[in-house]
Each structure stands twice: as structure tokens, then as C-alpha cells.
């Protein structure tokens, strides 16, 4: 992402199959990419990646429709 200087990245289930160390490394890369001039759409089914990447907004999709649209406190609400 950083090499081609993208302004927008879509990461679909990038955390699938990652062990703890790989998850932290991936999160570090995502956090390093984020800045006021770039955006990341991070699609995940798991909360564990959000323990390392703090989202600005969270949208929950159910059956193809946005069911919830809240700030970064949503993971606690889902537990």
C-alpha cells in the first residue's frame, strides 16, 4: 500500500488465517498507511483485528444492508 502511494485501500478479510504475530504485523502496516490523506475500508468478520487497528467508524452489515453505523465503541456493544 505504501509503495504505490494509494489514497484508498480496500482490505477484505485481511486477517483470515493470521496468527497473533502476523496479525500485529498487519495491523502495524495498516496503522502506518493511515493518515488524513488516505482511507482504508477494512472488511472483517472478527473483532481481534480491531484490537490493533483503531477504526474511525464501524458499519455492521446484515443481509446486505447496514444494520448499525457507529463510532469505534461498537466492538464492546457486540460482545
First to last CA, the chain: 32
Give the model confidence (pLDDT) of 33-51 as tens digits: 888 888 889 998 878 888 8
pLDDT at 46: 77
> Is 43 inside any structural domain?
yes
Average pLDDT over residues 56-60: 84
* DSSP structural state of residue 61: E
1 vs 9: CA distance, rounded Å: 7
pLDDT at 12: 92
Are 74 and 58 in contact, with CB atoms under 8 Å apart? yes
Enclosing domain of residue 42: 8-78
- The three cell numbers of residue 50 are 480491531
> Is 3 inside any structural domain?
no
pTM above 0.85, yes or no: no
Total domains present in the chain: 1
Are 52 and 24 in contact, with CB atoms under 8 Å apart? yes
Amino acid at each position: 500500500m505504501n509503495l504505490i502511494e494509494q489514497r484508498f485501500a480496500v482490505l477484505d478479510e485481511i486477517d483470515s488465517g493470521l496468527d497473533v504475530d502476523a496479525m500485529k504485523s498487519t495491523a502495524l502496516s495498516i496503522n502506518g498507511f493511515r493518515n488524513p490523506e488516505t482511507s482504508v475500508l477494512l472488511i472483517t468478520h472478527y473483532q481481534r483485528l480491531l484490537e490493533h487497528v483503531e477504526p474511525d467508524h464501524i458499519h455492521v452489515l446484515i443481509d446486505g444492508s447496514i444494520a448499525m453505523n457507529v463510532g469505534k465503541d461498537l466492538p464492546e456493544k457486540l460482545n
